Amino acid sequence: MLEHGGRLRAAAAHYGIPLAAWLDLSTGINPCAWPVPALPASVWQRLPEENDGLETAAAVCYGNANLLPVAGSQAAIQRLPNLLPRAAIACLSPLYAEHPHAWRTAGHRVREIDGKLSRAVAAATPYVLLCNPNNPTAARHSRATVIDAARQLNRRGGWLIVDEAFVDPTPEDSVADLAGTPEMPRLIVLRSLGKFFGIAGARIGFILATPDLLHRLREQLGPWAVSGPARAVARMALADHQWQTATRAQRRAAGDRLQRLLAGLGEVSSTALFATLCSPDGGAMHEFLARRGILTRHFPELDLLRLGVPGAEEDWARLTLGLRSLHSAIERGNSQANP
């Protein structure tokens, strides 16, 4: 099983710092989550039913009714490779590691392509996969760029798979409305409510694709693939357009603020939910902050350090203080200094 961020208990045990004393920035989950209300007892007592309004709310939000709720986009990531004939897939790299892992496990040949999306399309594989925005690099592709890639692949009978787990703050980049339509039948889009809405524990997301592919995936997943409480929460969150609009503006400002805060430590890229620092000293920075109870995500093979966006002002103040200490330690040539 691959390692992910959010392993706070392991960090607490390793560094000897109590759970409650940590500032966890190791994921890209919105710390200012959609306010989940009290749920009626019936959602806990009854089996989930599909005619509860969830699919309708999602269709309005994404502009496309060709969708299927899944237990987090991770469920679709793991199952999708089994629905398509085994062949070669070009993954725009680096990317969320579960994608190439799932395709390799299913028997596909994975080519990880560095650089631009055009290079992945030019690889002439039957499938091309990208994350937009990308995790962990924060790179973004415009809607026009993704549409052009989808059209090129469609002309040669190829498929484009787009993971849009982090796209909610920038809906102008999304191509979810086109997935599985007559115009783009070989475009597949994955969406998640865990990141922008901040309800990762509910484990709910969507796959948007042709009705035939969705039917086959539904058959693989079996009945009640998403719990009743998760369906209820997702339906209300997707319908709360006022919260979404306000939160987009807040998170974009927070992403810009985090990027400014990291300036001077290396090359920084950011989304509205996380920032990524490229530096060969990323591991030392990760350790320095962790010893002060600030958990980040280090990607040692990529020389990347990813930090989620803080929520409360006291969290911003704590991160600011930690980074100031880090700057001072670097200036003294002692980033490995003890707390």
112-133 pLDDT, tens digit per residue, is: 999 789 999 999 999 999 999 9
200-239 pLDDT, tens digit per residue, is: 999 999 999 999 999 999 999 999 999 999 999 999 999 9
Q: Which of 245, 235, 232 is nearest to 168 (CA)?
A: 245
72 within 8 A of 192, measured Cβ to Cβ: yes
Residue 181: the pLDDT is 97
251, pLDDT greater than 60: yes
Residue 205 three-state SS: strand
**If one looks up domain 47-239 in CATH, what number appears?**
3.40.640.10
In single-letter form, the type of residue at position 317 comes to A
Residue 7: the pLDDT is 86
State the distance between the two ends of the chain, measured CA to CA, in whole angstroms: 33
In single-letter form, the type of residue at position 86 comes to R
Instruction: Give just the sign of the alpha carbon dihedral 298, 302, 305, 308.
Output: negative
Residue 3: the pLDDT is 65
Residue 335: the pLDDT is 45
Q: What residues contact 56, with CB distance under 8 A and at least 6 apart?
A: none
pTM of the model: 0.94
223/38 Cα distance (integer angstroms): 26
39 within 8 A of 235, measured Cβ to Cβ: no
Residue spans of the domains in the chain: they are 8-28+243-331, 47-239
Question: Which CATH architecture does the domain made up of 8-28+243-331 adopt?
Answer: Alpha-Beta Complex (3.90)
89/83 Cα distance (integer angstroms): 14
> Per-residue b/e over 202-232, b at no fewer than 16 CB within 10 Å?
bbbbbbbbbeebbebbbeebeeebbbbbbbb
Determine which of 64-78, 168-182, 198-212, 323-337 has the lowest per-residue pLDDT on average. Answer: 323-337
> Per-residue b/e over 111-145, b at no fewer than 16 CB within 10 Å?
bebeeebeebbebebbbbbbbbbbbbbbbebebeb
Pairing of strands 67-70, 23-24: unpaired
339, pLDDT greater than 60: no
Residue located via tokens 């309005």: 60
Mean pLDDT for 188-210 is 97
Residue 2: the pLDDT is 62
